[in-house]
Structure formats: C-alpha cells, structure tokens
Amino acid sequence: MKALLVVDVQNDFCPGGKLAVTRGHEVIPVVMRLADQFDNVILTQDWHPAGHVSFASSHAGKSPFDTIELDYGVQILWPDHCVQGTAGAEFHPDLSVEKATLILRKGFHSRIDSYSAFFENDRKTSTGLRGYLRERGIRSLYIAGLATDYCVHWSAVDGRNAGFDVYVVDDACRGIDTMGSMEEARTLMIKAGVRFVVSPSLE
C-alpha cells in the first residue's frame, strides 16, 4: 500500500506569503493530478503559535535566515509564518483537500520547530505519523510539496529511517534554497536511500 504525503502547501509558502518559496504555487496542479492516483493522501500543515522559537522576531537582534543555538542544536530563524489561525497558515485555496484522510499539523510546540512530518527538530518528539502509516499497512511513501530543502527533505529522510520506501516527486516540489540548502538536501536524501521520480512516470 502506498500513500501520498503533501507537505505544507500553505499560503505563507506560496508567492505573496511570509516565507514564499519561488514558484511554490506551481506544485498545486501537479499535486492534484497525483492525488487522483492514491487512495491514501495525507496533508501536512505547518502550524506555529505566535512567538514561536523558529521566528527571528522572537530573538532580540536577530534577522530571518540567521541561525541560533537551541538545546537541540542549530536552528535557522525564519520570518513569522504559518501562525495558527491566520490566512497564511491556511492551505492554498487552489489545493483541493477533499480526498485527504489525515491533516497532520506540526510545529505547534512553541519551543521546538518541526520540519519533518515524523519527528520534531529535537529529533525525539514524535508526531505519530509512523504509527498511523504502519497501522494502515502503508509501506511506500511518495512525497510532494514545500519546501524541498526543509520539510520535504526531513520527512523523506525520516521516512526512510522509519522503514518506508520513499520517493520524492521532483516536479511536485519547490525549494527555498538558502545557503546551498538544495544541494545539501539532495545529497542527504540520496545517502538515506530516498529515490526521485517525476509525476508523469507515475501515471
């Protein structure tokens, strides 16, 4: 059994949003075509409380894309984004979500960021996704969405470590690409055994 994991296709990650991914909205039609081919579709939603630890505005003298040292390691600081209950945190209006069986929110602990859909950035706090997939008999995970170099990347690597076959659907993802993050993400995904596919090959 396979599942499609659609990562963070939210207003703040699309053009005009607070942490806009260049051409992020272009993934939407691709994701929707892909979803037709899956019985199991899961959406993730970045869902931060105001004043979240990952926001540069929460740290005096810091700017977006600076880094800080937290208890769990280095954290990149972002513009305020995907704040719970705001329009920026909503799914893009063109994304049709009717088919999704699970909407998995992440990043809701105020002191921990969460890129991966499996583990928060402390690498210890589980979201429960592994159990959900296992209990539903899912062994293969196809990943699409935003952003390739952060939430897609970490979800893919953690998916591999959790024992799933993982495919990143390249043309259904777009990246932020700060400080070489796209290249680094690709290298780490390859090392973890993630495979890359394009959506026409899945039809």
Active site residues: 8, 106, 151
The site map against Zn ion for 42-61 (x = CB under 5 A) is: ----x---------------
Binding at 12: pick from ligand VGL, Zn ion, none (beta carbon under 5-8 Å per type): none
Pick 40 or 75: Cβ nearer ligand VGL: 75
Query: ∠ at Cα 203 (45, 20), nearest 5°?
Result: 30
Residue 149 binds to Zn ion (criterion: CB under 5 A) = no
**The amino acid at 192:** A
- Binding-site string for ligand VGL from residue 131 to residue 160, where x marks contact by CB under 6 A and - marks none: ---------------xx--xx---------
User: Buried b vs exposed e over 138-167: b needs ≥16 C-beta within 10 Å?
Assistant: beebbbbbbbbbbbbbbbbbbbbebebebb
Nearest distance from C-beta of residue 1 to ligand VGL, angstroms: 26
Sequence-distant (≥ 6) Cβ neighbours of residue 180 within 8 angstroms: none
Per rule CB under 6 A, is residue 129 in the interface with ligand VGL? no
- Chosen from Zn ion, ligand VGL, none, partner binding at 80 (C-beta under 5 to 8 Å by type): none
- Give min distance, CB of 171 to ligand VGL, in A: 17
Q: Confirm or reject binding of residue 118 to ligand VGL (CB under 6 A).
A: no
In this structure, what token pair is assigned to residue 124?
A: 């210890």
User: How do the residues of the chain divide into helix, strand and coil, expressed in percent and rounded to 5?
Assistant: 30, 25, 45
Q: Find, among 20, 44, 40, the residue nearest to 119 by Cα.
A: 44
Residue 85 CB contacts under 8 Å (≥ 6 apart), including other chains: none
Binding residues for ligand VGL, rule CB under 6 A, total: 9
Contacts with ligand VGL by CB under 6 A lie at 8, 13, 46, 78, 115, 146-147, 150-151
